Amino acid sequence: MTTIAAEGAPSYISAGYTLRSWLTTRDHKRIALLYGVSILFFFLVAAAAAAMIRLELLTPAGDLVDDDTYNKLFTVHGVVMVWFFLIPSIPSTFGNFLIPLMIGAKDVAFPRLNLASWYIYTLGGLFVVVTLIAGGVDTGWTFYTPYTTMFSNSHVILAVTGVFIVGFSSIFTGLNFIVTVHQMRAPGMTWFRLPLFVWAHYATSLVMVLATPVLAMTLALIAIERLLGVGIFDPALGGDPLLFQHLFWFYSHPAVYIMILPAMGVVSEVITCFSRKPVFGYQFMVYSLLAIAAVGFMVWGHHMFVSGQSMYAGMVFSLLSFLVAIPSAIKVFNWTATLYKGSVRFDAPMLYALGFIGLFMMGGITGIWLAALAADVHLTDTYFVVAHFHYIMVGGAVMAFFSALHFWWPKVTGRLYPDGWARAGAIVMFVGFNLTFFPQYIAGYLGMPRRYHVYPPEFQVLNVLSSGGAVVLGVGYLLPLLYLWWSLRRGRLAGANPWGATGLEWQTPSPPPTYNFASAPRVEGPPYAYQAGGTDGR
Amino acid sequence: MNELQQADAVPAKAPPTGRYWLMWLVLLALQLVNLGSSYLPLGAFNVVVNVGISIVKALLVMAVFMHLSSASPVMRLAAGVGFFFLAVLIGLSLGDYMTRP
Amino acid sequence: MAAEGTSAMAASHFADAEQRETAATFGMWIFLATEVLFFGVLFAGYTVSRVQHAEAFILAGRHTDVLLGSINTAVLLTSSLTMALAVRAGSVGWRRSCAAWLVLTAVLGVAFLAIKGYEWHEDWLQGLVPGLRFAYSGPDAPGVELFFFLYFVMTGLHALHLTIGILVIAVMALLAARGRFSAAYHTPIVLTGLYWHFIDVVWIFLYPLFYLVSRS
């Protein structure tokens, strides 16, 4: 194992310690950390709202908060989790940090745009914080018309402005990644030598760039309609509230792929490293990523089966939704095949990644149920849906986020965390997650509707289980915060490549120097040159 | 190795201006055809002709003024992908509206 | 030589100037793709509304000014020509010629806005502005209001883009006149050109959708 960077080159962290040096940085690694701190803040805000929701649902009566407050709580939880945590979570932090390293570049293509995207994110976040202070918004994260445009008395315009703004940070990140992958690859880094993490972010970026503007304009139309009292969603004019749902889900369904595709990229890297085997079916993995991104644009109508959409459109959307399952299943099969006969090690990143596979599969298969027209009539707007998308977004995307956090923490900080605590944390999180959300599948299947804070007493057992699980899940989130914080000062030094992983990011010191590599790396072979049984692939 | 660099959007030599002026005349002529055709009683085909001519004009502007005719395939793909997904948005939405009882 | 006059733009993370220009042009095309979908929402809204209110859109279409709309289309097409000539002059390093064509482009853009502003003023006087001053009381009034809502949002968003374009072109003209660009480095002018032509493309579609409905 040789490191390419010259000895003693200052790391990106020691390039400057002042606040100003951070706020004006153009280094993709520092911007990634800026994003990391910001999304942690919003994660905590949204998690607090979730805690209130679970506390309220302990009893069938609405005794903790009133209906309006409850509506605001789940709206805040949704809006903040989706746009201020999940969408930027992996791309803006690990994507930003790792893509230039993985392709052997000094930085992303447009470093100033990269920094600008963080400021735009912060500005959008400010709007949301102001919304909360002003009294919140009660429309649900989906902002459905005509409630948002005609009836809601909460701060809709403030909230949609915040989401509108944060959309542009997502667009600029996506644009940057696309151009970076096309233009900045090191000599020899051909398209089919790119790590799957990079491919996943490339597919994600396509979705970010092509779907987000649709959301932005749709939300702008809501604001205009609210201000002027007329608009294309206004039924009084013969406008169509369902058109809003079409436009909203044209973004918001692919948005799920913005969350899950980077997660798939992370899991691919981790599984191959801790199985000591190359990824099974690399090219199929690439094509699956692209297929998910592309077909994901054509399935949005499955959110509208019971909305009054034409039955024939429903059939087409249902069929197209089934199609997305194929590339998703290919990925799960290939991960499993990668494990087969590998020298599997159960380090913390691997535990999270294995958790991801199981939970993503649960979420995916229940998604197929929901994409089936007849079943959806029974299940729509119940807790079954809530459980389904939490299995994808939290069980999938958040587990993968923690997998990435544990896999690349030594690279980002140069320190190792205590292994036993980390494995315990992964298991606590997995158990807590299932305890929280599996009962919701049952409650939903039995008919408990979502978005009410009062429910029939027969659902109490399931809700108590779920709230109890949320406490375990909370512990699972807090544990890493504690031991990772501890590791910053007390952790053992990591060295360049603590996992014996392949990939260019492991060939430069931890933490990497400002321009990543002392000399431009040259790539001479395919990725994932692991050998089963060995400890070091190179 | 970067596929984008094979055919750059702007050649080093100045291209002759003739095709720009020609394109200008063609575009103005198409506009007149567009305007004129809309006064013909073609029924539903008025909008087909109108939008069809507009698509031709847009393609000409992109090919000549925006240099796509000499650009690399990846650049053309980037130019086209937005229109493709807009077609998906409009097409599948209309699929709903056209088949409602 | 590529670094001549470009020190402010030079970013050490690029391998060479050519890579930088290609990256910037490619990035601009990606940005324009997002713009296609940004405007695209309104085009989708227009299509759906027109399908649902075909009669009302025919009635409403008679209330736009086809003469001014056509003149404006010609103005904008001409400004695309002058923009293309500006980019060409920039690409061979003729800085005066480049600045002059840029100024002419901006002037045409201002002319477009002036005509458009006059049209909006007329619409205001006729009471065709939904939400603020809508006095139309003929048949299919709600559908007509929908048409004019789309008309104002779409031409308004287009005008906003045009205004930004004019400001950018003005800055570029100034920089070109000061000799900031050369045959080796003129990427900002190329990017400005792409943006300007894109605005033209949007208008090419707005023109038949708002001015040529129901003329037969």
Q: What is the pLDDT of residues C63-84, one digit of tens each?
A: 999 999 999 999 999 999 999 9
Whether A519 maps to a domain, the answer reads no
Tell me the C-alpha distance between A329 and B79, whole Å: 32
Q: Flag if A179 and C49 touch (Cβ within 8 Å).
A: no
Residue written as token pair 């406008």: A239
Tell me the C-alpha distance between A376 and C110, whole Å: 54
DSSP 3-state assignment of A199?
A: helix
Tokens representing C191 are 């990017």
Taking CA atoms, B95 is separated from A466, B92, C81, C209, in Å, by 40, 5, 38, 21
Tokens representing A158 are 């403030």
Tell me the C-alpha distance between C203 and C201, whole Å: 5
Q: Flag if B92 and A310 touch (Cβ within 8 Å).
A: no
- Chains sharing 3 or more CB pairs under 8 A with chain B: A, C
Name every residue whose Cβ is closer than 8 Å to that of residue B8 and which is 6 or more positions away in sequence. B72, C18, C21, C22, C25
Tokens representing A17 are 């310690």
Whether A405 maps to a domain, the answer reads yes
User: Å from A313 to nearest chain B CA?
Assistant: 5
* CATH class as words, domain C18-211: mainly alpha
C32 contact B CB<8A: yes
Cβ(C63)–Cβ(C126) below 8 Å: yes
User: Å from B6 to nearest chain C CA?
Assistant: 10
Above 80 in pLDDT, residue C8?
no
Determine the average pLDDT of the residues in A158-179: 97
Number of domains composing chain A:
1
C54 contact B CB<8A: no
ipTM over 0.95: no
Task: Output the domain CATH number for residue A502.
Answer: 1.20.210.10
Whether A532 maps to a domain, the answer reads no
Cβ(C31)–Cβ(A208) below 8 Å: no
User: Å from B1 to nearest chain C CA?
Assistant: 11
pLDDT-derived band at C215 (thresholds 50, 70, 90) equals: confident
B82 contact C CB<8A: yes
Q: Angle A512-A518-A522 (CA atoms, 0-180°, nearest 5)?
A: 105
Above 90 in pLDDT, residue B8?
no
Tell me the C-alpha distance between A448 and A336, whole Å: 35
pLDDT in tens, A110-134: 999 999 999 999 999 999 999 999 9
pLDDT in tens, B12-60: 455 688 999 999 999 999 999 999 999 999 888 999 999 999 999 999 9
Comparing alpha-carbon positions, the chain C residue that sits nearest to A112 is C11
The pLDDT of residue A53: 97
Whether A5 maps to a domain, the answer reads no
Q: Measured between beta carbons, which residues in chain A are less than 8 angstroms from residue C47?
A: none
CB burial readout C192-203, b (16+ within 10 A) else e: bbbbbbbbbbbb
Above 80 in pLDDT, residue C2?
no
User: Å from A221 to nearest chain C CA?
Assistant: 9
Tokens representing A223 are 């604001």
C216 contact B CB<8A: yes
Whether A329 maps to a domain, the answer reads yes
Q: What is the mean pLDDT of chain C?
A: 91
The pLDDT of residue C12: 61
Tell me the C-alpha distance between A331 and A337, whole Å: 10
Element (H, E) at C129: strand C128-129
Which one of B34, B75, B86 has the shortest CB-CB distance to C208?
B34
Residue A86 CB: number of other CB atoms within 10 A?
Answer: 26
User: Å from C203 to nearest chain A CA?
Assistant: 18
Comparing alpha-carbon positions, the chain C residue that sits nearest to A210 is C34
Tell me the C-alpha distance between C106 and C96, whole Å: 15
Cβ(A370)–Cβ(A376) below 8 Å: yes
**What are the structural domain ranges in chain B?**
3-98
Whether A17 maps to a domain, the answer reads no
The pLDDT of residue C15: 75
Q: Which alpha helices (H) appear in B8-72, and where do they start and end? A: 18-37, 45-60
User: Structural domain of residue A248, as residue ranges?
Assistant: 27-507
Secondary structure in 3-state letters for A27-75: CHHHHHHHHHHHHHHHHHHHHHHHHHHHHHCCCCCCCCCCHHHHHHHHH
pLDDT in tens, A407-447: 999 999 999 999 999 999 999 999 999 999 999 999 999 99
pLDDT-derived band at A234 (thresholds 50, 70, 90) equals: confident
Q: Measured between beta carbons, which residues in chain C are less than 8 angstroms from residue B47?
A: 208, 213
